[in-house]
Amino acid sequence: MTAQSTLAIEATGLAKAFDDVQAVDGVDLAVSRGSVYGVLGPNGAGKTTTIKMLATLLRPDAGSARVLGHDVLAEADEVRSLVSLTGQLASVDEELTALENLALIGRLLGLKRPAAKGRASELLDAFGLAEAAGRLVKNYSGGMRRRLDVAASIVVTPELMFLDEPTTGLDPRSRNLVWDIVRALVDEGTTILLCTQYLDEADQLADGIAVIDRGKVIAEGTPAQLKASVGSGALHVRLLDPEQRPEAERLLARELGSARLEPDPAALSSPCSDTDRAAEAVAVLARSGVGIATFSLGQPSLDEVFLALTGHPAEEQADEEETPIEEEQAA
């Protein structure tokens, strides 16, 4: 540890514009050491731009940031020596083999040639890539690539790791593996800044979350706090017949105060945390002849949090800056 601050990241008023688009518009962040901090937002919200400024890849137009106690502008080199970056695009060299990729990074980080090779082999073993070590990365599948990308980020274990949408485009199995790696890193004391548009990912991994929309932090807190801020829970109902939704909406609004239509044309929900009242509301629906496929009483999802905070669903915002990559997965 090189600085006394208990914060791994302290950012104040970070701003960055591209041409006339204000990608990041005054972001404040405080991330404590050893935690996983989620930055949650839709495509184009400014997540990647924020990471790039914190990782010294982009110069902020305004504001300041200290990473592990070092100013990102004045002490960029110190910052770079303590952090690593795993990008949205698998940032490994496609034209080299996996072994060469990791050995290259090792050499650039100051390892001697034999140590760099040894470290590369060790990581490839640990990541289940030993058999493919001598193959060119362009022949790797999406999941293999992401493993290699994460491995490249821990050739020397970083004190802070920026993970920019680490599971975008991955199948559930590969996604779980990335999550396992994140948890193992945190156990070793690494701080993680996780940018994601997957709400369950932030929920699974993050200790604290900042919700970001159009370049601004619009809410901050633990996953539980964020959920609590939109109400304690909700009754979710899915109907057998979407035609009956207006009727169900009217009944639920009468019983529970309000009802909201979900994107699914057969689904709707009402804020409610009391099981008795929920049961009564479901009974009312049934007695009125509204066919119910499923119902549940639960904590609000982060999707609902996002909708409540921004007034628009997380998925619908068009993107200019952060195009999601589509990785073809082997069927």
Partner 1 sequence: MSTTPTTQDSSLPPIEEAALRKALSSTERPPRASALSATLTFGWRGMLKVKHVPEQLLDVTITPVMFVLMFTYLFGGAIAGSTGDYLDYILPGVLVMSVLFTTVYSGISLNTDLTKGVVDRFRSLPIWRPAPLVGALLGDSVRYLVAGTVIVVLGVALGFRPGAGVPGVAAAMALVIVFAFGLSWVFTTMGLLLRSPNAVMNAGFMSIFPLTFLSNVFVEPETLPSALEAFVDINPISILATASRGLMEGNAEAGDIAIVLAVATALTAVFAPLTNRLYRSR
Query: Smaller CB distance to partner 1: residue 164 or 255?
Result: 164
Which residues fall within 8 angstroms of residue 242, CB to CB, at 6 or more apart? Answer: 265, 266
Query: Smaller CB distance to partner 1: residue 141 or 301?
Result: 141
Q: Of these, 89, 218, 253, 292, which contacts partner 1 (CB under 8 A)?
A: 89
In eight-state DSSP terms, residue 233 is: -
Q: Is 19 in the site for partner 1 (CB under 8 A)?
A: no
Query: Smaller CB distance to partner 1: residue 157 or 294?
Result: 157
Query: Smaller CB distance to partner 1: residue 111 or 205?
Result: 111
Tokens of 79: 């910052």
Within 267-326, the residues that bind partner 1 by CB under 8 A are 325-326
Q: Give me the 163-182 binding string for partner 1, x by CB under 8 A, dash otherwise.
A: --------x-xx--x--xx-
- Residue 321 beta carbon to partner 1: minimum distance, rounded to whole angstroms: 14
Which residues fall within 8 angstroms of residue 276, CB to CB, at 6 or more apart? Answer: none
Query: Smaller CB distance to partner 1: residue 139 or 296?
Result: 139
Give 268's strand partners.
237, 261
Give the binding range for partner 1 (CB under 8 A) out of 114-122, 214-222, 269-277, 300-308: 114-122
Residue type, 321: E
Give the binding range for partner 1 (CB under 8 A) out of 11-19, 64-72, 126-134, 247-255: 126-134
- Residue 122 beta carbon to partner 1: minimum distance, rounded to whole angstroms: 6
Confirm if 148 and 90 have CB atoms less than 8 A apart.
yes
Which residues fall within 8 angstroms of residue 99, CB to CB, at 6 or more apart? Answer: 117, 120, 121, 124, 133, 134
- Residue 317 beta carbon to partner 1: minimum distance, rounded to whole angstroms: 22
* CA distances in angstroms from 193 to 150, 202, 219, 248, listed in the order given: 14, 11, 16, 42
Query: Smaller CB distance to partner 1: residue 39 or 54?
Result: 54
Residue type, 30: A
Rounded CA-CA distance 281/293 in Å is: 15
Confirm if 65 and 9 have CB atoms less than 8 A apart.
yes
Q: Of these, 138, 250, 254, 312, which contacts partner 1 (CB under 8 A)?
A: 138
User: Count of residues binding partner 1 (CB under 8 A)?
Assistant: 74
Within 48-77, the residues that bind partner 1 by CB under 8 A are 52, 55-57, 59, 77
Nearest 5°: phi and psi at 122?
Answer: -60, -45
